[in-house]
Amino acid sequence: MSTDSEQTGTHPAEPHHDSLSARLNWLRAGVLGANDGIISTAGLVVGVAGATTDRMAILAAGVAGLVAGSLSMAGGEYVSVSTQRDTERAALRTEARELREMPEAEERELAGIYQAKGLSPELAAQVARELTEADALAAHADAELQIDPDNLTSPWQAAWASLIAFAVGALLPLTAIALPPVEWRVWTCVAAVIIGLVLTGTISARLGDARVGRAVLRNVLVGTLAMTVTYFVGVLFGVTVG
């Protein structure tokens, strides 16, 4: 006997498209946050290494950059996502008021949306009526606003994700430049950063269905340029050891 999942062609454990898309967006944001942590911290510590051979000075600068960058990323994400959440809530309040004040017009508007998507007028009207009876606000939020009222963006989740991702990325160049002997510090950091950027570039490209080679090359060029510029800026203000 066929089951409901067999009849619909889905698997019981198959994730819903919306939740999968949301997870991919968070993963992509985490990868980009780690990428920022790698590039900005690498530029900072390599620049300091160009000015001094003092391990503690380099380490202090790197830790300060990690903390400041993580907090800055977290704060920026919190403010940005809070603004987005406030906008979503305001739009939902407006939609709820319109549904109370003019339900017939809103149902016709919903039917018009589905008719524009290709349904016949009769079927569009039926779909709008049944969705309105089930949950009018959710139906209009999805069709008109592309918002899920039960799954609004979380500013705290975004802030923590950005903070952790940036810090994890920043640890790579910080560790790579703090541990080796003086003569190997910069080159070890450069090698570690390139490997990290290849990894983040590959992951971000695959998540975005982009060309991996181009994304990796762009990533590595930006990171290498940042380290080169900051290293020679450091050299101008200090003494470097070959």
Distance between CA atoms of 190 and 40, rounded to whole angstroms?
A: 13
Distance between CA atoms of 122 and 111, rounded to whole angstroms?
A: 9
Distance between CA atoms of 229 and 212, rounded to whole angstroms?
A: 26
**Has residue 225 been placed in a domain?**
yes
DSSP 135: H
Contacts of 151 (CB under 8 A, 6+ apart): 18, 22
**Has residue 153 been placed in a domain?**
yes
**Has residue 242 been placed in a domain?**
no
Sign of the Cα pseudo-torsion (217, 220, 226, 230, in order)? negative
Contacts of 73 (CB under 8 A, 6+ apart): 33, 36, 37, 162, 163, 165, 166
**Has residue 3 been placed in a domain?**
no
Please state the separation of Cα 241 from the chain's center in Å.
39
The mean pLDDT of the chain is: 82
pLDDT > 70? residue 26 = no
- Of the listed ranges 27-36, 193-202, 211-220, the one predicted with least confidence: 27-36
Structural domains counted in the chain? 1
Contacts of 196 (CB under 8 A, 6+ apart): 34, 38, 169, 172, 173
Average pLDDT over residues 90-97: 89
**Has residue 208 been placed in a domain?**
yes
**Has residue 7 been placed in a domain?**
no
Each residue's pLDDT tens digit, 157-174: 888 888 999 999 999 999
- pLDDT at res. 238: 66
**Has residue 214 been placed in a domain?**
yes
Domain enclosing residue 42, as ranges = 19-236
- pLDDT at res. 152: 78
Average pLDDT over residues 47-72: 90
